[in-house]
Amino acid sequence: MRYTAFTSYDIVLLAQGLGVSLALFLATTIIGLFIGSLWAVIRFYRIPVLAQIVAVVAEVLKNSPVLVQLFLVFFGLPAFAKINVTPVEAAVITLSGNTAAFVYVIAVSAIESIGRDQIEAARVFGLSRWQILRRIIAPQAMAFAIGPLTGLLVNQLQVTSLISVIGVVDLTKIGNILNLRTLKPFIVWAVVGGLYYVMAKLVAFGGARLEKRLRAHTAWKGL
C-alpha cells in the first residue's frame, strides 16, 4: 500500500536522520581535527619520512572526490584487503580522513604565519619544543585558523549528505525515503535543505564567536 500523505511519524524520522548526520559530523570533525593537527606538527618539526608521507596522503585526500574515497573504503577495502566495513564505519573513515587533510593545510598555513623570531626568542629563553608549541604557536595559530576552519566545517557538514549513497540512514536518506513515499519532492527537499541550512548557520555562528574570543585573547594589550 502506497501512502502519499505526510504523517506525524515523519517528524520522528527526520529527527532520527538529523541525529545521525550530526553525530557523524561531530565524530568525524573531532577525529579530523586531531589527525590534521598532528600531521601539521609532524610537518612543523620536519620528522624524517613521516613528514613526506603525511604531505602525500593529505595531497591525495584533498584533491580527490569525497564520493570516490567513500566508494574506495566501502567497496574497495572488502575486495582488496578482505576487510568488512559497515556503512557507518566507511563514513567515519572517509569523512575523518578528508577533514584531516584540509585541517592539515589550514594548520600548516596558520603555523607558518607566526614569525620565526618569536620561536627563536622562546628558544633563547630556554623553552622546550613542547612549551613553544603550547604557549607560543598554538594560541596564535588557533586565532589565525579558526576562520578557515569554520568555513571548512560548514562545507564538511554538507558533504555528510553523500554518505546516504552507501546506505547510512542520515537526514538525506530519510529525505529520499519520504520523497519516494509521498511523491512531494519540493516539500521534502525544502525541509531537508532547511535543516542543513540551520545546522550550517549554527556552525558558522559558533565559529565566529570563538574567533572573536581568540582574537581578543591574543591581541596586543600594550605595555
The domains of the chain are located at 9-218
Grid coordinates belonging to 165: 549513497
What are the CA-CA distances from residue 141 to residues 41, 129, 145, 206 (Å)?
12, 16, 6, 18
Note every long-range contact of 110-116, with CB atoms under 8 Å and residues 24 or more positions apart, other chains counting. Answer: 110/140, 110/141, 110/142, 110/144, 110/145, 111/40, 111/44, 111/137, 111/141, 113/140, 113/141, 113/144, 114/140, 114/141
Q: What is the DSSP letter of 170?
A: S
Please state, in angstroms and rounded to a whole number, the distance separating the CA atoms of residues 30 and 17: 20
CB 189 within 8 A of CB 50: no
Quickly tell me which residue has 542543513 as its cell: 196
How large a percentage of the chain has pLDDT more than 70?
A: 93
Q: Among 145-149, 201-205, 209-213, whose mean pLDDT is lowest?
A: 209-213
163-187 confidence digits (pLDDT tens): 999 999 999 999 999 998 888 999 9
Q: What is the DSSP string of 10-55?
A: HHHHHHHHHHHHHHHHHHHHHHHHHHHHHHHHHHHTT-TTHHHHHH
For position 222, what pLDDT does the model report? 45
Mean pLDDT rounded to a whole number for the chain:
87
Tell me the fold of 9-218. MetI-like fold (1.10.3720)
Q: Where does the pLDDT of residue 2 fall: very low under 50, low under 70, confident under 90, or very high at 90 and above?
A: low
User: Of 144, 63, 62, 150, whose CA–CA distance to 108 is shortest?
Assistant: 144
